[in-house]
């Protein structure tokens, strides 16, 4: 018997089927005795440790041979030697995700198991899950990326939604404006037609009522003369009787009233026709360079009776405000409408404040503020609609602001109203110094 | 009868008879009135007799008021043209005014005093031209 054989205690008998089991295993496996000396190992284990069978056999002879030192840093091996734990506990133990370095320097992630078997032996297996761990890490990374991408997407979607909502709002506004413009333009054509057709009839009603009144007056004069004539009593009696039948005194007084009302009706209709014409005639004729300040002042002179001794007019005209190319008559009409409205809005005493400013982009702004009751929100939307009026019947046609809006729009400008109910109204008229040619080229009816 | 004392002749041209009636009513007190329902008849009249003033509606069939006054100006330079129109600021109206073909424009519906005043001045202009 050889010496080493004597020194070493008898080696426990490893059953054949265990060897076969280990030989067939994909995992690295080693059978250790209670002193942690390798008794048997498979090919995979050899590959892991990088030890040749002879070295391993030598280790088996070596008392201090602790095979796992080849796989793990010694402190790891000591603290978690699974083989010992398995011996102590008398049952299999397992640890996942053990980091180790293979003999060739490759970093590994292992699942390590230790299973005690009869004969004071323990089978340790090492499963290489490095690839799995890598995949898992990659998977985690991918998940993280996905989460971030999702977050980014959601953020983008939110941003886009806001942008789209804003675009949608703008679109709606533009559409409303377009519909409004189209409405105004077709309304303009309709009104032009109506005005044209009304022109002649109202002309002769308006003109002839004067003659009718004059003729009637002459006839009454004649009757009065006859009354003074010395007539035969019988005839006089018949005349008196007829006068009674027709209620002559009433007829005479009422005819005056009738003529007055016809004349007033004709005048009002003539005014409406004039307004309708102005509304539908926007955009023809010649452009002239015009000082808006002059226009305002001229208009204020014209409506002096409305303002005198009642309303204080304060002017704040920027001297640098440029002249504007426009249809002077039409722009004056806008001033007339807006200033008349301001004056009529003020019951009793008050103030009209007129401001003229030069705006960037070659535009001029006129602000007319009154100390009247102001414009309620629901009215503000309708204020430029045709035939909309808050004035008494006969006081306004409800076309003044509609016409003004048409005129200003046709000049490439805009007119808006500001101010809450109870705070006075401000009409803001904005005009470009040079109106767009295409707008003015058309007849604008 | 002297030239001044004699009633001036005014030709009223309008396709709307009720408007012609009204014009006649307004002017007949001061002037000798002739009527024509359209530009063609009016031109025939202008060639046949002397008028101080022609008051023509603008929107008429066949010949527009401005065209009529343009012909009248060529045929009878001393005849002064007045145009009746609902649309005073039509480009052709403004151009005719600038050329002197149209002496004055009366907007419809018209005010009688405005019309009378304009016809009076037109007659003066005609007499001025004839001198």
A193: nearest CA in chain B? B86
Which has more pLDDT, A49 or A317? Answer: A317
Q: What is the pLDDT of residues A343-369, one digit of tens each?
A: 988 988 999 999 999 999 999 999 999
Work out the average pLDDT over B19-42.
94
Q: What is the pLDDT of residues A273-298, one digit of tens each?
A: 776 666 565 444 567 788 899 889 87
Minimal CA separation from A275 to chain B, in Å: 12
Total count of residues recorded for chain B = 131
Its pTM surpasses 0.80:
no
Contacts of A210 in chain B (CB under 8 A): 112
Top-tier CATH class for A283-445: alpha beta
ipTM reported for the complex, 2 dp: 0.78
Work out the average pLDDT over A22-32.
88
Nearest to B94 among A206, A211, A286 (CB): A286
| Short-list A440, A428, A410, A407, CA closest to A331 | A407
Identify the top-confidence range among A8-17, A195-204, B85-94. Answer: A195-204
The answer to whether A95 touches A68, Cβ cutoff 8 Å, is: no
> Given this model, what pLDDT does residue A397 score?
63
| Short-list A408, A391, A407, A389, CA closest to A399 | A389
> Given this model, what pLDDT does residue A103 score?
65
Query: Over pLDDT 90: what percentage of chain A?
Result: 29
The answer to whether B75 touches B55, Cβ cutoff 8 Å, is: no
- Crossing angle of helices A328-345 and A292-302, in 10° steps, is 50
Identify the top-confidence range among A29-43, A106-120, A163-177, A242-256. Answer: A242-256
Q: Are the beta carbons of B110 and A203 separated by less than 8 Å?
A: yes
Instruction: Read off the tokens for A395.
Output: 């006081």
> Given this model, what pLDDT does residue A181 score?
61
Which has more pLDDT, A186 or A87? Answer: A87
Q: What is the CATH number of domain A16-128?
A: 3.30.450.20
| Short-list A122, A131, A134, CA closest to A68 | A122
Sort B125 into a burial class: Cβ within 10 Å, 0-12 / 13-18 / 19+.
middle
Nearest to B89 among A201, A274, A281 (CB): A281
Q: Say yes or no: A202 contacts chain B, CB-CB below 8 A.
A: yes
Work out the average pLDDT over A360-383.
87
Give contacts of A 313-332 with B, CB under 8 A.
327, 329
Task: Give residue A24's region: left, alpha or beta (phi > 0; psi -120 to 50).
Answer: alpha
> Given this model, what pLDDT does residue A441 score?
46
Q: Are the beta carbons of B110 and A204 separated by less than 8 Å?
A: no
For the beta sheet containing A121-128, the strands, ordered from the edge strand earlier in sequence to the opposite edge, are A38-41, A28-32, A121-128, A107-117, A93-101
pLDDT at residue A396 is higher than 70? no
Work out the average pLDDT over A232-254.
92
The answer to whether B30 touches B53, Cβ cutoff 8 Å, is: no
> Given this model, what pLDDT does residue A409 score?
87
Q: Are the beta carbons of B108 and A284 separated by less than 8 Å?
A: no
> Given this model, what pLDDT does residue A416 score?
92
pLDDT at residue A248 is higher than 50? yes
What is the SS3 assignment for A35? coil
Whole-Å CA distances, A319 to A148, A266, A345, A357: 60, 44, 29, 9
Which has more pLDDT, A119 or B105? Answer: B105
The answer to whether B126 touches B8, Cβ cutoff 8 Å, is: yes
Peptide bond into B109 cis (omega under 30): yes
Total count of residues recorded for chain A = 445
Query: Token pair 């440790």 is at which residue?
Result: A49
| Short-list A168, A71, A62, CA closest to A124 | A71
Q: How confident is the model at residue A69 (pLDDT cuts 50, 70, 90)?
A: low
Q: What angle do CA B86, A430, A167 make, to 5 degrees?
A: 110
For the beta sheet containing B80-85, the strands, ordered from the edge strand earlier in sequence to the opposite edge, are B32-36, B9-13, B53-57, B80-85, B104-107
> Given this model, what pLDDT does residue A100 score?
76
pLDDT at residue A444 is higher than 50? no
pLDDT at residue A226 is higher than 70? yes
Work out the average pLDDT over A144-173.
91
Which has more pLDDT, A80 or A84? Answer: A84
Q: What is the pLDDT of residues A123-156, one digit of tens each?
A: 988 888 888 888 888 999 999 999 999 999 999 9
B85: nearest CA in chain A? A199
Q: How confident is the model at residue A186 (pLDDT cuts 50, 70, 90)?
A: confident
Q: What is the pLDDT of residues B38-69, one digit of tens each?
A: 999 999 999 999 999 999 999 888 899 999 99
Sort A211 into a burial class: Cβ within 10 Å, 0-12 / 13-18 / 19+.
middle
Nearest to B109 among A273, A281, A285 (CB): A273
Give chain A's mean pLDDT.
81
> Given this model, what pLDDT does residue A278 score?
60
pLDDT at residue A6 is higher than 50? no
Give the 3-state secondary structure of chain B.
Answer: CCCCCCCCEEEEECCCHHHHHHHHHHHCCCCEEEEECCHHHHHHHHHHCCCCEEEEECCCCCCCHHHHHHHHHHHCCCCEEEEEECCCCCHHHHHHHHHCCCCEEEECCCCHHHHHHHHHHHHHHHHHHHC
Task: Give residue A73's region: left, alpha or beta (phi > 0; psi -120 to 50).
Answer: beta
Contacts of B21 in chain A (CB under 8 A): 204, 208
> Given this model, what pLDDT does residue B20 score?
94
Q: Say yes or no: B18 contacts chain A, CB-CB below 8 A.
A: yes
The answer to whether A374 touches A383, Cβ cutoff 8 Å, is: no
Whole-Å CA distances, B3 to A258, B7, B32: 43, 8, 13
Sort A317 into a burial class: Cβ within 10 Å, 0-12 / 13-18 / 19+.
middle
What is the SS3 assignment for A370? strand
> Given this model, what pLDDT does residue A184 score?
61
Instruction: Read off the tokens for A190.
Output: 């309709």
> If residue A436 lies in a helix (H) or strand (E), which one and from where to where?
none
């Amino acid at each position: 018997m050889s010496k080493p054989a004597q020194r070493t205690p008898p080696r426990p008998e490893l059953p054949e089927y265990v060897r076969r089991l280990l030989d067939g295993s994909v995992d690295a496996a080693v059978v250790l005795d209670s002193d942690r000396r390798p008794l048997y190992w498979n090919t995979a284990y050899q590959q892991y440790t990088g030890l040749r069978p002879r070295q391993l056999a030598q280790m088996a002879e070596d008392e201090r041979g602790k095979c796992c030192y080849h796989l793990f840093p010694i402190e790891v091996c000591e603290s978690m030697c699974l083989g010992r734990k398995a011996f102590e506990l008398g049952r299999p133990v397992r640890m996942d995700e053990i980091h180790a370095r293979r003999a060739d320097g490759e970093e590994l992630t292992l699942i390590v198991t230790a299973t005690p078997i009869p004969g004071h032996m323990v089978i340790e297996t090492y499963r290489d899950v490095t690839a799995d761990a890598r995949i898992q890490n990659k998977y985690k990374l991918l998940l993280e990326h996905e989460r971030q991408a999702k977050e980014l997407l959601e953020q983008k979607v939110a941003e886009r939604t806001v942008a789209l909502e804003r675009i949608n709002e703008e679109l709606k506004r533009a559409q409303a404006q377009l519909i409004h413009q189209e409405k105004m333009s077709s309304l303009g054509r309709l009104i032009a037609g109506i005005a044209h057709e009304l022109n002649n009839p109202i002309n002769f009603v308006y003109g002839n009522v004067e003659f009718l009144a004059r003729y009637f007056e002459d006839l009454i004069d004649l009757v009065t003369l006859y009354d003074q004539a010395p007539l035969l009593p019988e005839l006089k009696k018949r005349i008196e009787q007829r006068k009674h039948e027709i209620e002559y005194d009433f007829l005479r007084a009422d005819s005056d009233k009738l003529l007055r009302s016809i004349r007033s009706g004709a005048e009002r209709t003539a005014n409406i026709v004039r307004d309708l014409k102005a509304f539908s005639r926007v955009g023809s004729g010649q452009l002239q360079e015009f000082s808006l300040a002059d226009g305002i002042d001229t208009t204020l002179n014209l409506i002096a009776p409305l303002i005198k001794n009642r309303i204080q007019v304060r002017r704040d005209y920027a001297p640098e405000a440029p002249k504007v190319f426009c249809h002077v008559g039409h722009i004056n009409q806008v001033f007339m409408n807006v200033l008349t409205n301001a004056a009529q809005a003020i019951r009793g005493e008050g103030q009209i404040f007129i401001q003229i400013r030069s705006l960037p982009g070659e535009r001029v702004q006129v602000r007319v503020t009154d100390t009247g009751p102001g414009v309620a929100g629901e009215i503000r939307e309708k204020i430029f609609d045709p035939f909309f009026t808050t004035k008494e019947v006969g006081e306004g046609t409800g076309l003044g602001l509609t016409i003004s809006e048409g005129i200003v729009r046709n000049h490439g400008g805009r007119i808006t109203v500001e101010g809450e109910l109870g705070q006075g109204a401000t009409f803001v008229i904005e005009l470009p110094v040079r109106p767009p040619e295409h707008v003015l080229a058309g007849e604008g009816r | 009868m002297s030239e001044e004392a004699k009633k001036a002749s005014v030709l009223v041209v309008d396709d709307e008879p009720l408007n012609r009636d009204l014009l006649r009513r307004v002017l007949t007190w001061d002037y000798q009135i002739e009527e024509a329902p359209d530009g063609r008849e009016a031109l025939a009249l202008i060639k046949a007799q002397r008028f101080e003033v022609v008051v023509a509606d603008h929107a008429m069939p066949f010949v527009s008021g401005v065209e009529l006054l343009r012909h009248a100006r060529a045929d009878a330079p001393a005849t002064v043209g007045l145009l009746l129109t609902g649309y005073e600021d039509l480009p052709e109206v403004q151009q005719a005014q600038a050329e002197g073909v149209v002496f004055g424009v009366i907007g419809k519906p018209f005010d009688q005093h405005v019309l009378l005043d304009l016809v009076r001045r037109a007659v003066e202009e005609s007499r001025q031209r004839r001198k």
